[in-house]
Structure formats: structure tokens, C-alpha cells
Amino acid sequence: MKLSYDLHIHSCLSPCGDNEMTPYNLVNMAKICGCDIIALTDHNTCLNCESAMKVGEDIGLTVVPGMELCTSEEIHCICLFPGLKNALSFSDYVKSTLPPVKNREKIFGNQYIMDEKDNILGSFDLLLTTASGISIEGLDELMKDYGGLWYPAHIDRNSYSIISALGDFPLGLETPAFELTYEADEKLYREKYAETKNRYLLRSSDAHYLEKLMTEKCEIELKENSAKALIEKLSNIPKI
Ligand SMILES: [Zn+2]
Ligand SMILES: [Zn+2]
């Protein structure tokens, strides 16, 4: 089945995510905007995924538990998991590698952990937009341990992308996909970077505000509408 997707969305748990991006609001808005499957990818944490998944179950929208990991090289990577348990254990591990820098809400914004009914359960104490202690080297293996997969986010951006940080793709990169912003020219990246051959190019909104969810979505063919089917599909690199 062809599914309309958005696999890069932030909630109010990301300090840069708008307070209106509650799990309830963002999942409902994604549904209104025509998404069939979304991933919640807050910076360095999966702690709002459970609530978003509950909202998704209630309204019939698949929510994949995910994270936008900031590696020690300051590269943003989309990490996706087949289930909540995997995501939460990875989230715990990432937290253990974060520098001991507390969030300053007035400067960086709130980091709200919320339930599925818009109640605030608490705030994440450490600043979530810092680089974690996890290097891009070994991320393939690490993600296998957690049953998930990762791919570099917004490779066409001038900051926090694999190309802006390293100048190029590291040799031997095994990621099954690359993310481009909606504006980027796929052909240009395919031609310029041989590493993108036989890899999925995915485009998502990177929404931090509800309005940003109102963009035209891309589609992916999956055998069923589930997080597991998405992981399975992306784990099998296409023959283009
Ligand atoms: Zn990013
Ligand atoms: Zn992002």
C-alpha cells in the first residue's frame, strides 16, 4: 500500500519545538494533513513517543517511535524503531551520554514531557540540543543492538548535516536512506554523491510548529501500515 509519510517531526519536548506541538495536537494535525504514517523525532529523546503513539492508536494514524540524534560530531541523524520498548531503551542510553548541561527554559525553550491528553508530566532536565556522546562511527552497530535503524537528516542543510560536518559521506556508511528537505533537488544529490546510489531518499517536514505540518507529503510503498513494516522496508536497500 502507498502511504503518505512524515518521518521527522518535533514535539514540545524539543526546546525548539513550539509548546503547541503537544503529542495530541501534532498527531491530530498530521492526520488532518493527510499523513498515514509519521515518526516523532525529538532531539536526543523518545520520551513523548508513548503519548503520541497512544493518540495515533485512538485516531488511526501510525506513529513510529523515533529520535533525531545529535552525534558527537554534531550530525543530526533520524533514528527509527519498530516498537516503543526499543526506543525507550535507546533514549535512556542517549541520556547517559549527554553532557551535564541543564536546560535554561527562558533561553532555549521548554522541554515538556506530556501525556496523550495534553497534561504536562514533567520537563526534561538536561538540554536536549547538545551533541550526545555517540559517534557516527559505530552507529550502524549500535542501532542494530536496539533493533532500529538510522539515516542522516537534512543532508542538504548547511548545519548539523553529515555533509556540513564532515565535508562528505564517511567511507563504509551503511545507512539505508538519506533525508533531504522538500526544497532540495534529488537529482543533484544523486549525481554528486555516489553513496546515495541504491539508498532511499526520504523527505519529511522537520516540523517544529503545527503549521509546518501542512506541507505536501511524500509517499512510500509498505506492505502494511506499521512501524515494523517501515523498518523492514528501509532495512532492505532498494535496487534502483
Ligand atoms: Zn536537524
Ligand atoms: Zn529536526
Q: What percent of the chain shows pLDDT beyond 70?
A: 99
Q: What is the pLDDT of residue 238?
A: 63
Mean pLDDT, the chain, as a whole number? 94
Ligand nearest to the CA of 153: 1
The whole-number average pLDDT for the span 10-38 is 97
| Predicted confidence (pLDDT) at residue 190 exceeds the cutoff of 70 | yes
172 against 43, higher pLDDT = 43
Compute the distance from residue 41 Cα to the ligand 1 centre, in Å.
Answer: 10
Ligand 2 ion: Cβ-proximal residues, 5 Å cutoff: 68, 206
Residue 133 CA from chain centroid, whole number: 18
- List Cβ neighbours of 150 (8 Å cut-off, separation of 6 or more): 69, 77, 78, 79, 80, 139, 140, 143, 175
| Predicted confidence (pLDDT) at residue 48 exceeds the cutoff of 60 | yes
| Sequence spans of domains, the chain | 2-235
Per-residue pLDDT of 169-185, as tens digits, reads: 877 777 899 999 999 99
Separation between Cα atoms, residue 132 and residue 75, nearest integer Å: 10
Compute the distance from residue 130 Cα to the ligand 1 centre, in Å.
Answer: 12
Please, which pLDDT band fits residue 236 given cuts at 50, 70 and 90?
Answer: confident
CATH (one of 3.30.930.10, 2.40.160.20, 3.20.20.140, 3.40.50.700) for 2-235:
3.20.20.140
CA 153, 159, 160, 166 torsion: positive or negative? positive
Ligand 1 ion: Cβ-proximal residues, 5 Å cutoff: 76, 153, 160
Compute the distance from residue 8 Cα to the ligand 2 centre, in Å.
Answer: 6
The whole-number average pLDDT for the span 205-225 is 94
Please, which pLDDT band fits residue 188 given cuts at 50, 70 and 90?
Answer: very high
| Predicted confidence (pLDDT) at residue 202 exceeds the cutoff of 90 | yes
Separation between Cα atoms, residue 240 and residue 228, nearest integer Å: 23
Compute the distance from residue 68 Cα to the ligand 2 centre, in Å.
Answer: 6
Please, which pLDDT band fits residue 194 given cuts at 50, 70 and 90?
Answer: confident
Please, which pLDDT band fits residue 165 given cuts at 50, 70 and 90?
Answer: very high
Q: What is the pLDDT of residue 239?
A: 56
Compute the distance from residue 78 Cα to the ligand 2 centre, in Å.
Answer: 8
Ligand nearest to the CA of 160: 1
Compute the distance from residue 151 Cα to the ligand 2 centre, in Å.
Answer: 13
- The answer to whether residues 173 and 180 touch, using CB atoms and an 8 Å cutoff, is no
Q: What is the pLDDT of residue 216?
A: 83
Ligand nearest to the CA of 17: 2
Compute the distance from residue 76 Cα to the ligand 1 centre, in Å.
Answer: 5
Per-residue pLDDT of 105-140, as tens digits, reads: 889 999 999 999 999 999 999 999 999 999 999 899
Compute the distance from residue 204 Cα to the ligand 2 centre, in Å.
Answer: 9
| Predicted confidence (pLDDT) at residue 82 exceeds the cutoff of 60 | yes
Q: What is the pLDDT of residue 174?
A: 77
Compute the distance from residue 141 Cα to the ligand 2 centre, in Å.
Answer: 23
Q: pTM above 0.85?
A: yes
The whole-number average pLDDT for the span 211-233 is 95
